[in-house]
């Protein structure tokens, strides 16, 4: 099976990723730590893997990770287009260009030094309002339910706070908003304003990176595994 080839290569892929001078990582991948820390780590490795590896083993990593393609498609119709699966190092733009890119929904990078090397956190914000005294960031999530569970809220809140941390490198942040929209009805089922402290978020990101490095990653509750496309890889990597 193609997945068997990936499992055989995985230790080499890990070594290659951790040896990078700068290790890029998506805000959404970091946020996934609060859904499943093991899944979050596997995504970090796969997203850093050169695309030619996929061709070599004949396996599409994005399809392996996504799972519910229909839900993703419906979600993108509401909150915009994903910027792709794989990550590459980006040059940090000057402030003026960063604001233009953020307003256009493009990816914004920010480098972070840690005890495990330099990481580059990257994110594309759903909505941002820029004023003279700062900006308002809105993250829009979708759900098929009429309410939002604590399991979905935790990673979503972390992702919005990471966006705040990203943007404070370029401009002040006035407010962070998290909105959940029901996919079938397009009705808002949850909305809240989040507290934000740049230093606290940076410490939280570094803690997640530390858990990655030491593989201090807990197995999630069983029901989360049932629909995860990374389940077989996870069972072999964390056996």
Q: Kindly indicate the confidence band of residue 64, based on its pLDDT and cuts at 50, 70 and 90.
A: confident
pLDDT greater than 90 at residue 12: yes
Which tokens sit at 170?
């370029």
The 10s digit of each residue's pLDDT in 17-30 is 999 999 999 999 99
Residue 149, beta-bridge partner list:
none
Domain boundaries, the chain: 2-237
* Cβ pair 194, 154 in contact under 8 A: no
Q: What value does the mean pLDDT of the chain take?
A: 90
Handedness of CA 208, 209, 210, 216 (dihedral sign): positive
Architecture category of domain 2-237 in CATH: Alpha-Beta Complex (3.90)
pLDDT greater than 90 at residue 234: yes
Residues 6+ apart with CB under 8 A from 27: 121, 122, 123, 159, 162, 163, 166
pTM equals 0.91
User: Given this model, what pLDDT does residue 227 score?
Assistant: 84
User: Given this model, what pLDDT does residue 200 score?
Assistant: 98
In angstroms, what CA-CA distances link 65 with 61, 68, 153, 158? 6, 9, 20, 20
pLDDT greater than 70 at residue 69: no
Distance CA 153, CA 190 (A): 10
């Amino acid at each position: 099976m193609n997945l068997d080839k990936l499992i055989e290569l995985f230790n080499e892929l890990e070594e290659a990723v951790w040896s990078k001078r700068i290790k890029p990582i998506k805000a959404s991948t970091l946020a996934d730590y609060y859904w499943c820390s093991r899944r979050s780590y596997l995504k970090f490795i796969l997203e850093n893997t050169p695309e030619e590896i996929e061709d070599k083993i004949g396996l599409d990593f994005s399809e392996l990770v996504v799972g519910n393609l229909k839900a993703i498609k419906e979600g993108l119709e509401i909150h915009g287009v994903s910027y792709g699966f794989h990550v590459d190092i980006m040059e940090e733009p000057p402030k003026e260009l960063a604001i233009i890119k953020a307003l256009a929904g493009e990816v914004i990078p920010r480098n972070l030094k840690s005890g495990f090397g330099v990481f580059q956190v990257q994110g594309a914000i759903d909505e941002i309002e820029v004023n003279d005294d700062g900006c308002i960031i809105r993250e829009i999530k979708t759900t098929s339910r009429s309410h939002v569970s604590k399991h979905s809220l935790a990673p979503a809140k972390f992702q919005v706070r990471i966006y705040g941390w990203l943007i404070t490198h370029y401009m002040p942040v006035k407010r962070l908003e998290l909105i959940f929209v029901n996919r079938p009805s397009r009705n808002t089922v949850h909305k809240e304003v989040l507290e934000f402290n740049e230093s606290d978020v940076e410490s939280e990101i570094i803690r997640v990176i530390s858990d990655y490095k030491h593989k201090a990653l807990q197995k999630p509750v069983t029901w989360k595994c049932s629909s995860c496309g990374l389940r077989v890889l996870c069972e072999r990597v964390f056996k």
